[in-house]
Chains A and B, each alone.
Chain A
Amino acid sequence: MNEPTATGIGASLRRIEDHRFITGRGKYTDDIQRHGQVHAYLLRSNLAHGEIRHIDTAQAKQAPGVLAVFTGADLRADGIGDLPVGWMTTNIDGTLMFIPPHPVLAVDRVRHVGDPIAVIIAATLSQAKDAAELIEFDISDLPAVANIDRATAAGAPLVWDGAAHNTAFHWQVGNSAAVEAAFARAHHITRIDLVNNRMVANAMEPRVAIGEFDEGRGEYLLHLSSQNPHVARILLATATLKVPEHKIRVISPDVGGGFGSKAMHYAEEVIVLWSAKKIGRPVKWTSERSEAFLSDRHGRDHKTHAELALDANGKFLALRASTIANLGAYYSTFGPAIPTFYSAPLLVGTYAIPAAYCDVRGVFTNTVPVDAYRGAGRPEAAYVIERLVDQAAHEVGLDPAEIRRRNFIPPDAFPYDNPLGAQYDSGNFGVGLEKALALADYAGFEPRRAAAKARGKLRGIGMSSYIEACGAGPSKIIMAAGAGSGMFESATIRVNPSGSVVVVTGTHSHGQGHETTFAQVVSDKLGIPIHSIEIVHGDTGRSAFGLGTVGSRSLAVGGGAIIKALDKVIAKGKRIASYILEAAESDILFENGRFVVAGTDKGISFPEIAFTAHAPAKFPSDEIEPGLEETAFFDPANFTFPAGLHICELEVDPQTGATEVLAYTVVDDFGNVINPMIVEGQVHGGTVQGIGQALLENCVYDPDTAQLLSGSFMDYCMPRADNLPNFLVDYIVTPSPHNPLGVKGCGEAGAIAAPPAVMNAMMNALRPAGVTELSMPATPLKVWQALRAAHA
Chain B
Amino acid sequence: MSITVSLQVNGRNVSETLEPQTLLVDFLRNHLRLTGTHVGCDTSQCGACVVHVDGLAVKSCTLLAAQAHGTQVTTIEGLETEGRLHPVQEAFRSEHGLQCGFCTPGMIMSAVALLRRNPTPTEAQVREGLEGNICRCTGYHNIVKAILTASTHMPAQSAQASRS
Q: List chain A positions with a Cβ less than 8 A from chain B.
A: 1, 3, 14-15, 17-28, 30-31, 33, 126, 201-206, 254-257, 259, 288-290, 510-513, 677-678, 680-682, 684-689, 712-714, 718-722, 724, 726-727, 750
A-B contact count (CB 8 A): 187
Residues of chain B within 8 A (CB-CB) of A288 are 42
Give CA–CA (A37, B40) in the complex, Å: 22
Beta-carbon contact of B36 and A26 below 8 Å: yes
With A19-B93, A22-B92, A712-B41 in contact, is A203–B136 under 8 Å at CB?
yes
Give CA–CA (A149, B154) in the complex, Å: 56
With A28-B38, A511-B100 in contact, is A257–B92 under 8 Å at CB?
no
Beta-carbon contact of A204 and B43 below 8 Å: no
> Is B54 in contact with chain A by the CB < 8 A criterion?
no
Q: Is the interface of A mostly helix, strand, loop or mixed?
A: loop
Residues of chain B within 8 A (CB-CB) of A682 are 99
> Is B151 in contact with chain A by the CB < 8 A criterion?
no
Give CA–CA (A256, B52) in the complex, Å: 23
Beta-carbon contact of A24 and B136 below 8 Å: no
Residues of chain B within 8 A (CB-CB) of A202 are 136
Residue of A nearest to B19 (CB): A126
> Is B120 in contact with chain A by the CB < 8 A criterion?
no
What are 29 inter-chain pairs, A to B, with CB distance below 8 A? Answer: A23-B80, A24-B77, A26-B102, A31-B29, A204-B46, A204-B136, A205-B38, A255-B100, A256-B40, A256-B100, A256-B103, A257-B102, A257-B136, A257-B137, A510-B100, A511-B137, A681-B138, A681-B142, A684-B141, A685-B136, A685-B138, A688-B138, A688-B140, A713-B134, A714-B43, A718-B134, A721-B131, A722-B131, A724-B139
Beta-carbon contact of A1 and B102 below 8 Å: no
Beta-carbon contact of B93 and A259 below 8 Å: no
Beta-carbon contact of A14 and B93 below 8 Å: yes
Beta-carbon contact of A204 and B37 below 8 Å: no
> Is B91 in contact with chain A by the CB < 8 A criterion?
yes
Give CA–CA (A17, B93) in the complex, Å: 10
Give CA–CA (A14, B79) in the complex, Å: 21
Give CA–CA (A259, B100) in the complex, Å: 11
Beta-carbon contact of A257 and B77 below 8 Å: no
> Is B144 in contact with chain A by the CB < 8 A criterion?
yes
Give CA–CA (A291, B90) in the complex, Å: 35
Residues of chain B within 8 A (CB-CB) of A512 are 99
B94 smallest CB distance to A (angstroms)? 4
Give CA–CA (A684, B135) in the complex, Å: 12
Beta-carbon contact of B92 and A204 below 8 Å: no
Beta-carbon contact of B34 and A24 below 8 Å: yes
Beta-carbon contact of A206 and B40 below 8 Å: yes
With A681-B138, A727-B141 in contact, is A713–B41 under 8 Å at CB?
yes
> Is B96 in contact with chain A by the CB < 8 A criterion?
yes
> Is B53 in contact with chain A by the CB < 8 A criterion?
no
> Is B58 in contact with chain A by the CB < 8 A criterion?
no
Q: Mark interface residues in B70-99 (1 if CB within 8 Å of A CB, else 0).
A: 000001110110000100011111101011
Which has the most chain A C-beta neighbours within 10 Å: B21, B99, B123? B99
Beta-carbon contact of A713 and B45 below 8 Å: yes
Add 9 more A-B contacts to A23-B76, A726-B144 (CB < 8 A): A22-B85, A23-B79, A28-B35, A203-B136, A204-B103, A290-B42, A511-B101, A713-B46, A721-B135
B1 smallest CB distance to A (angstroms)? 14
With A24-B105, A712-B43, A720-B134 in contact, is A18–B92 under 8 Å at CB?
yes
Beta-carbon contact of A24 and B37 below 8 Å: yes
Q: Mark interface residues in B122-149 (1 if CB within 8 Å of A CB, else 0).
A: 0110111011011111111111100001
Give CA–CA (A186, B128) in the complex, Å: 51
Beta-carbon contact of B126 and A15 below 8 Å: no
> Is B48 in contact with chain A by the CB < 8 A criterion?
yes
Give CA–CA (A512, B92) in the complex, Å: 16
Residues of chain B within 8 A (CB-CB) of A721 are 126-128, 130-131, 133, 135, 140, 143-144
B150 smallest CB distance to A (angstroms)? 9
Which has the most chain A C-beta neighbours within 10 Å: B77, B128, B139, B149? B139
A622 smallest CB distance to B (angstroms)? 49
> Nearest 6 A-B pairs (CB), nearest first?
A24-B36, A256-B102, A21-B101, A511-B100, A688-B139, A24-B76
Beta-carbon contact of A204 and B40 below 8 Å: yes
Q: Which of B38-68 contact A (CB under 8 A)?
A: 38-43, 45-46, 48
Give CA–CA (A682, B141) in the complex, Å: 11
Which has the most chain B C-beta neighbours within 10 Å: A18, A33, A206, A721? A721
With A204-B46, A685-B137, A721-B130 in contact, is A15–B96 under 8 Å at CB?
yes
Residues of chain A within 8 A (CB-CB) of B104 are 21-22
A224 smallest CB distance to B (angstroms)? 15
With A1-B153, A685-B138, A726-B144 in contact, is A256–B35 under 8 Å at CB?
no
A624 smallest CB distance to B (angstroms)? 43
Residues of chain A within 8 A (CB-CB) of B108 are 22
Give CA–CA (A511, B97) in the complex, Å: 11
Residues of chain A within 8 A (CB-CB) of B21 are 126
Beta-carbon contact of A22 and B98 below 8 Å: yes
Give CA–CA (A206, B102) in the complex, Å: 10
Residues of chain A within 8 A (CB-CB) of B92 are 18, 22
